[in-house]
Amino acid sequence: MQMLSFLDTFTAFPLAELEVGKHFYWEIGNLKLHGQVFITSWIVIAILLTASVLATRNIQRVPQGIQNVMEYALEFVRDIAKNQLGEKEYRPWLPFIGTLFLFIFVSNWSGALIPWRLIELPEGELAAPTSDINTTVALALLTSLAYFYAGFSKRGLGYFSKYVEPTPILLPIAILEDFTKPLSLSFRLFGNILADELVVAVLVLLVPLFVPIPVMLLGLFTSAIQALVFATLAGAYIHEAVEGHGGEEHEAH
Amino acid sequence: MNPTIAAASVIAAALAIGLAAIGPGIGQGNASGSAVEGIARQPEAEGKIRGTLLLTLAFMESLTIYGLVIALVLLFANPFA
């Protein structure tokens, strides 16, 4: 942190502070929680809940307004799940993949669109929940659990035959793959979102007006793509676990 | 922080992100080139090609992002500081 202390001289622009690695700690028992992440995630959850309640409160045969938007969102996540899992298998996994996509998407965009810096915290700053590695690791581990559960419930103990299936020589690599999947999922999302926010913050430090706008738009685009990538990969991993063989075309990311 | 460690960390962070940008740069160039070729040959497939291309580019980009994560760890959460 001391390395970037020269940035403190730029505090003339209070909206453009860089506070990586500082957190607003909540202490519950022996645990130290990153409070800013909880606050922003709760706001994101509240946005999603309000949108879905408003959309379903008064359902029309011909959708209008927010119902239209939410129907579009539902069709979008359904297409993601259907493309990855296939027509027959996708339905039970649609809520999981859809929740992942919507939560990550709204989180990423909230970091760019909601002016969090206007809210003062004693320490640290509010930002997109996905720019904290704990959030992304939690989502990636949930994905791991989901595909283990999918494979185990579908194929029973036969699921574990995939570790020795072509040849037992590849057993270490097959086990290693189970660790690299959540690692790459979480690092990809975390790195992209944090990089977006850092680039925007540095540019705002240098030129406060107008110049950062194209980069902000690019950030919106990449964060939407990252939400899509996370949901797609979760679907691909679950499909691979359910199907056993033939999941190779989704491999090697 | 020990000045040697600080200097080494900064150089390591620069190398991490710089070297990690080379491979994905070449890969993204190849992929985009092939996509443009595909669109020129078969303009009606543009939508499908573009969707696949964007997803693939995001995957390649994540390789650079891994380097960036290492660089950020070295700068902000250096375990040797």
DSSP A51-115: HHHHHHHT--SS--HHHHHHHHHHHHHHHHHHHHHHHHHHHHHHHHHHHHHHHHHHHHHHHHHS-
Q: How many domains does chain A have?
A: 1
pLDDT beyond 80 at A98: yes
Within a domain: residue A77? yes
pLDDT at A247: 44
Range of A4-13, A176-185, B24-33 with top mean pLDDT: B24-33
Within a domain: residue A250? no
- Note whether A100 and A143 are within 8 A (CB): yes
More confident call, A227 vs A246? A227
pLDDT beyond 80 at B10: yes
pLDDT at A12: 45
Give me the percent of chain A exceeding a pLDDT of 90: 24
Within a domain: residue A252? no
Query: Helix (H) and strand (E) counts for chain B?
Result: 2, 0
Within a domain: residue A82? yes
pLDDT tens, residue by residue, A1-56 = 444 554 444 444 455 556 666 777 888 888 888 888 888 899 999 999 999 898 88
Within a domain: residue A253? no
Cα separation, A44 vs A105, in Å, equals 10
Residue with token string 């309640």: A53
pLDDT beyond 90 at A113: no
Q: Which of B6, B69, B75 sits opposite A191 (nearest CB)?
A: B69
The verdict on a CB contact (< 8 Å) between A20 and B76 is yes
Mean pLDDT, rounded, for A75-101: 90
pLDDT at A87: 87
Distances (CA, A) of A104 to A135, A152, A224, A243, B61: 10, 27, 9, 26, 18
Domain that holds residue A134: 2-243
pLDDT at A65: 82
More confident call, B43 vs A19? B43
A253 pLDDT band, cuts 50/70/90, is very low
Cα separation, A182 vs A180, in Å, equals 6
The verdict on a CB contact (< 8 Å) between B58 and A1 is no
pLDDT beyond 70 at A148: yes
pTM of the model: 0.82
Mean pLDDT, rounded, for A181-208: 87
Report the Cα–Cα distance between both ends of chain B, in Å, rounded: 6
Nearest residue in B to A21, CA atom:
B76
More confident call, A137 vs A36? A137
pLDDT at A90: 87
A245 pLDDT band, cuts 50/70/90, is low
Report the Cα–Cα distance between both ends of chain A, in Å, rounded: 32
Please give the mean pLDDT across all residues of chain A: 83
Cα separation, A170 vs A163, in Å, equals 8
Q: Which of A110, A77, A99 is nearest to A193 (CA)?
A: A110
More confident call, A32 vs B26? B26
Within a domain: residue A155? yes
Mean pLDDT, rounded, for A179-199: 89
Q: Which of A180, A190, A93 is nearest to A137 (CA)?
A: A190
Q: Which of A80, A180, A192 to mutate to test the interface with B (most CBs of B within 10 A)?
A: A192
**A4 touching B (Cβ < 8 Å):** yes
A168 pLDDT band, cuts 50/70/90, is confident
Tell me the two tokens of residue B67: 């380097």
